[in-house]
Amino acid sequence: MSETATQAESPTYKRVLLKVSGEALLGGREYGLDNATVKAIAEDVRDTVALGVQVCLVIGGGNIFRGVAGASAGMERAQADYMGMLATVMNALAMQNALERMGVQTRVQSAIEMSSICEPYIRRRAIRHMEKGRVVIFAAGTGNPFFTTDTAAALRAVEMGCEALLKGTQVDGIYSADPRKNPSAEFYTRLTYLEVLARDLQVMDAAAISVARENGLPIIVFNIHEPGAFREVMLGHGRFTTVKDD
């Protein structure tokens, strides 16, 4: 293989965090996990790791329980958020199972200690796992109520020294409106952090955007359901939106 071809297939980033919403695991279901969807995402993670990329993940829990929804139904917000954190642990274990069935060594680290089923979150241990080629899944958010898993993803990405935060969504990037509802919505190839906030594009919450901006962490938004999209984005291919300052 020529040097040019080799360079063309080199990943853009060497260490990244992938944020996947809990809803992304639903598939065609209204609640819970769709095994085929979990497997498809795991395959994409496996193929990305095969490029030599160090990968960690944060998975939301909205397919099982959303703290905000519980609070709006009358629950105490902190209690509802803790329940949501437990939902993220369930999703993390499901993804770990899918990855390890494919031969990918995986560790789950939880911000809330559950020593019988996963490791506690320890920053230096997590970094060492990734250096050894293991995928690390961070569960239970930040371990604190009132913070979303988007914010947890931005925080963990910075703590891990990741070069980018990837947000796998239901569409292929950031639009001026939901393209599934508004076919004329404008697609953005590149935005700054302040543009995302000023236009209220809601791809991630304001706290997550602020953490990324303060630390110069690029956010890349793509369609998690497009087969092989994670790997393709790592190679600079496909359709996606990049959020970073010029």
Going by the annotation, the residues of the binding site for ATP are 19-22, 62, 66, 169-170, 175, 178
Question: Cα–Cα distance between 40 and 226 in angstroms, integer?
Answer: 9
Q: Name the token pair of 82.
A: 């803790």
Q: How far apart are the C-alpha atoms of 149 and 154, rounded to whole Å?
A: 9
159/153 Cα distance (integer angstroms): 10
CA-to-CA separations, 108 to 92, 200, 216, 227, 230, in angstroms, rounded: 7, 33, 26, 24, 20
Report the binding-site residues for UMP: 61, 81, 142-149
Burial of 182: CB neighbours in 10 Å, binned 0-12, 13-18, 19+: exposed
User: Quick one: CA dihedral 185, 186, 192, 198, positive or negative?
Assistant: negative
| 204 alpha-carbon distance from chain centroid | 11
Structure tokens at 16: 């990244």
Q: Which helix (H) or strand (E) holds 84?
A: helix 77-101
Binding-site entries: 19-22, 61-62, 66, 81, 142-149, 169-170, 175, 178
Nearest residue to 238 (alpha-carbon basis) of 246, 230, 138: 230
